[in-house]
Amino acid sequence: MARTELGAALRRWRDQVTPETVGLPTGGNRRAAGLRREELAQLAGISVDYVTRLEQGRATSPSAQVVEALARALRLTGGRRAHLFQLAGLVPPGPEQVPAYITPGVQRLLDRLTGTPVAVFDAAWTQLLANPLYTALMGEWHGDDLNAVWRNFLGAGTRVRHTPESLGALRAAQVADLRGTAGRYPSDRRLQRLVSRLRLRSAAFDELWESGVVGRHQSARKTVDHPEVGAVTLDCDVLVAVDNDLRIMIYTAEPGSRDAERLALLAVTGIQALT
């Protein structure tokens, strides 16, 4: 019964979210005003088949991560978000866990800054959401590489140009921030696993972790080597949403500069390529 109710709730909420609300194109022949299954799957980062099975009551036990991703994609807040967890047979994440809930204000910021690359990370530096221009600038991430700390210690590399000094400074800031997060959420098992895996597989991470430094990764000037528009030098600022411990990463160019022109070009060509 609960599975049937979960599927019905997902279909109902999907029908209530318009493509414009979530920044998706509205062209083409649409039989309904709400999101297609394919669009919900894209926003939540899961497969269309899994969305179908959930809605039809054939998927048995979605994880808390999947339910959180669906809640974000459907713009569920407060009681609706809690109800989705309950329908999935789960307890909404408590205060002892790293928050992954995108507040309405943060979501509104992401939706409206369409001409600025913006991404939202949780306090463990796992990417939760990114607007299309951020994805066009930095590329898409999957699996472990969704976590920025993992990516900078063990990933396949990024488009950001680094010197040994700048990479070292970034890593030190990220570890210091992650250590502070671990202190605030000592019972979060996913965070514990992340730190354990990083310490086991990266000697550089383990050495920084052992140093005991606590701090924040806040801002830097970065050059991104983009395969289409070339090198773009941008200011990267990290804002913290205090109420939910989120990191909002924003890239901006100096007005009137060549970098601003290249970013504007990417806002056209890069987003078209994604869609």
| Domain shared by 73 and 111, yes or no | no
CATH code where residue 268 lies: 3.30.450.180
Note whether 138 and 76 are same-domain residues.
no
Residue 101 pLDDT > 70: yes
Domain membership of residue 99 (yes or no) is: no
Is 68 in the same domain as 174? no
Same domain, 33 and 119: no
Residues 115 and 72 in one domain: no
Contact, 158 vs 170, CB < 8 A? Answer: no
Residue 214 falls inside a structural domain? yes
For residues 264 and 180, membership in a common domain is answered with yes
87, 113, 147: which is the final residue of a domain?
87
Which of 87, 112, 139 is where one domain is finished? 87
Whether 149 is in a domain gets the answer yes
Is the same domain home to 128 and 258? yes
Segment holding 251, helix H or strand E:
strand 246-252
- Both 148 and 20 in one domain: the answer is no
Dihedral pair phi/psi, residue 185, rounded to 5°: -130, 65
- Number of structural domains, the chain? 2
- How far apart are the C-alpha atoms of 221 and 209, rounded to whole Å? 25
pLDDT tops 90 at residue 90: no
Same domain, 258 and 129: yes
Q: What is the pLDDT of residues 157-202, one digit of tens each?
A: 899 999 999 999 999 999 999 999 998 888 898 999 999 999 999 9
Model confidence at 119, pLDDT cuts 50, 70, 90, reads very high
Residue 230 and residue 131 in one domain: yes
CA dist 109 and 26 (Å) reads 20
Enter the pTM of the model: 0.73
Measured at the CA of 222, the angle between CA 106 and CA 219, to 5 degrees, comes to 50
**Rounded Cα–Cα distance for residues 241 and 120 (Å):** 10
**CB half-sphere exposure, 95, CA atoms < 13 A:** 1
Contact by Cβ (8 Å): 217, 174: yes
pLDDT band per the 50, 70, 90 thresholds, residue 1: very low
Q: What's the CATH number where 63 sits?
A: 1.10.260.40
For the chain, the 3-state helix, strand and coil shares in percent, each to the nearest 5, are 50, 15, 35
**Contact 124/247 with Cβ under 8 angstroms?**
no
pLDDT digits (tens, 9 = 90+) for 33-62: 788 888 888 888 888 898 999 988 888 688
Burial of 214 (0-12, 13-18, 19+ CB in 10 A): middle
Q: Which domain holds residue 135?
A: 104-274
